[in-house]
Structure 1
Amino acid sequence: MKYVIKTVKVLLLCILISSTAIILLFGHRDIPLNDLKPKYANKASSFIAVHGMDVHFRDEGDPSDPIPLVLIHGTGSSLHTFDVWAERLKKTNRVIRMDLPAYGLTGSFPDHNYSMTNYTVFLKDFLIALGIKKCILIGNSLGGQIAWNFTLEQPNTVAKLILIDAAGYPKKSKSEPVAFKVAKTPVLNKLLTYVTPRFLVRASVENVYFNTLKVTDSLVDRYFELTLRAGNRQAFVDRFKMSVDGSSLTKIKDIQQPTLILWGEKDLLIPVEYAYKFQEDLPNDTLVILNNTGHTPMEESPFESLIPVINFINKQHSENHKD
């Protein structure tokens, strides 16, 4: 009996020592917002009060454009994922993008409610705050899911829809970022809010790229440092705890707006077969598959992916048809 007690004590001591070592090696404090602003906000950045948050956004290009482009990023990302696109598109269009609640410089929802309903209400109130009555809505991954749900709820606000590797259908990923897996795992997800190794962030970004050589140190720094924005790590975990309401899936066929479905052929998180699900369900779509590209085409292959986007934006509604 004494041997068993001694063994348990040794094991507990080893666990304590290991946990302490992990925290010392990989533990990171939250980075205050004011420390991040000089690097990740610029002269085009603004902040606006929506739902009790100071939402970080950029409104660039032609202010007289009656139907601006609204760009929405995905899970764990920020408005910076559209940097290359925005630089080109703002020459001919008004381009608006924001850091979604839970990510970037915006931070978490005050009520910690990361349901799709709360995100679509947020988007509605954000657009109202900016005086936007009609727009072309563009979303990647989570942003795509928000975009098509918003289109169902506010059809008069959306002139056209662009879905980039969009979420929404129950999916079977071929591979998933390790950070996603940790966020879904009890106990480990608690640890994630304190211990966030940079190599975990790099591995997660590489997971959604096809060409991992394009994952630069500066790109990893951006994802890593914005993850450490106060409140973002807990929000990341909280969002994965939300139950999934699939009731809106049955209504996708009701979307009448001309829709571009843009997909990375090598997307392992939301594989390309889901692009064909959207194509089957949407009555007025154009489908473009990008070769040798992963889950975030606008970031991994920005110039190649922008060509069909510009062509689609410039088409007259009457020219759109189902491929």
Structure 2
Amino acid sequence: MLVLKIILGFVGVLVAAALVFFVANYAPEKPVDELKARWAKPPSQFVAIQGMQAHVRDEGPRDDPQPIVFMHGMGSSLHAWEDWVRLLKDKRRVITMDLPGYGLTGPAPDRNYGRDRDVAFVIAILDALSVKRAVWGGNSLGAGVSVAAALSHPDRVAKLILVDGGYPLFGGRSDPIGLRILETPGINALLRNTLPRFMIVSGMRAAWGDPNKITDENIDRAYELTQREGNRQAIIDRFGQRQRGASPSRLGEIKVPTLVMWGKKDGLIPVEAAHKLHAAIPGSQLVIFDELGHAPEEEDPAGTIGAVQKFLAE
């Protein structure tokens, strides 16, 4: 009887803790139209792709013979590239988008978030914009999509720019609380209707080389776009469908010019992965930024764009 009372008491404590957590962090979903005013300012457009209204930006000269397409990382959006786009668009056509399950594009109707689906999604956008061949660039998840495209659709890829991603490796020096929650069945279901702000901040602090550079707008953007209808369930679905990507042996099949960029202080994917990626892709170039973290394009756009411009000009 005493054991039963102890068990019931423990269960009661857990239920009470879950209730407190839910009340303190309750964050209802927001319709996409409510978010557009702040996060879909010009030149944002929405393109019908695979049953979704894909959030896309297409900037720069339309006569660019080799447009650039950038894809964001997990939990991010096309806004991650705004500074790079601003520094490139005078001379280059640059296309960015929110991948399925993220940003204003929102969830995929069939809840499929495999890498082949991501590649097909990006190619469908390029087709809609009449772009046959492009420079593919991405950060983290987006780098993995770019590598997959180079292997499965080499005729569509002119060059690769891989930023802190693209090597089939999970895990880093830190383990943000948000990832721990996503990995825990049952607990992750709480995220459908809650969104602890500290979880967003924890993930960013793990990603940036200098957390003091994180702005309130960075946090607001991640927080509000995650509230977009369906995004939290999509993040849970996508996390459960994670793929390691091409094996290191297949990376040797990549024949296009490739730039590998990495922040040495990346707390999510260790810099050792950059050296492995560079060694696996024939003729690739490697640039390491000693003071930056997982998202160099956001943390120091002015200090990192030079390597990109030089690579594009070659």
Task: Give the TM bin, normalised by the shorter chain.
Answer: over 0.9
CA apart distance, 1:138: 0.8
Corresponding position of 1:154 = 153
Corresponding position of 2:284 = 285
Does structure 2 conserve the Cα–Cα contact (< 8 Å) formed by 1:167 and 1:270? no
Corresponding position of 1:34 = 33
Corresponding position of 1:257 = 256
What TM-score does the superposition give when structure 1 sets the normalisation length? 0.93
CA apart distance, 1:119: 1.1
Does structure 2 conserve the Cα–Cα contact (< 8 Å) formed by 1:134 and 1:157? yes
Deviations along 1:238-279, one digit per CA (max 9) or x if unpaired, are 111115354554321111100011111111211111111111
Deviations along 1:40-89, one digit per CA (max 9) or x if unpaired, are 00110000011100000100111111211101100000000011111111
The secondary structure found in structure 2 opposite 1:76 is coil
Deviations along 1:162-196, one digit per CA (max 9) or x if unpaired, are 00011332334111332122111112211122221
- Is structure 2 residue 184 aligned with structure 1 residue 191? no
Which structure 2 residues correspond to residues 88-237 of structure 1 after superposition, within 5 A? 88-237=87-236
Gaps of 5+ in 1: 316-323
What TM-score does the superposition give when structure 2 sets the normalisation length? 0.96
Q: CA RMSD in A?
A: 1.5
Q: Within 2, Cα distance between the matches of 1:101 and 1:71? A: 14
Does structure 1 conserve the Cα–Cα contact (< 8 Å) formed by 2:168 and 2:246? no
Q: Which amino acid aligns with 2:259?
A: L
Which structure 2 residues correspond to residues 14-33 of structure 1 after superposition, within 5 A? 14-33=13-32
Corresponding position of 1:304 = 303
- Is structure 2 residue 266 aligned with structure 1 residue 267? yes
CA apart distance, 1:8: 4.2
Q: Which amino acid aligns with 2:282?
A: P
Does structure 2 conserve the Cα–Cα contact (< 8 Å) formed by 1:59 and 1:94? yes
Change (3 A) 1:171 1:12: closer
Change (3 A) 1:164 1:47: same
Gaps of 5+ in 2: none
- Higher mean alpha-carbon deviation, 178-187 vs 252-261, is at 178-187
Q: Within 1, Cα distance between the matches of 2:147 and 2:98? A: 18
- Counting matched residue pairs gives 314
Does structure 2 conserve the Cα–Cα contact (< 8 Å) formed by 1:149 and 1:248? no
Change (3 A) 1:149 1:246: closer
The secondary structure found in structure 1 opposite 2:252 is helix
Sequence identity (%): 39
Corresponding position of 1:318 = none
- Higher mean alpha-carbon deviation, 123-132 vs 286-295, is at 123-132
The secondary structure found in structure 2 opposite 1:254 is coil
Does structure 2 conserve the Cα–Cα contact (< 8 Å) formed by 1:49 and 1:55? yes
Q: Within 2, Cα distance between the matches of 1:117 and 1:156? A: 16
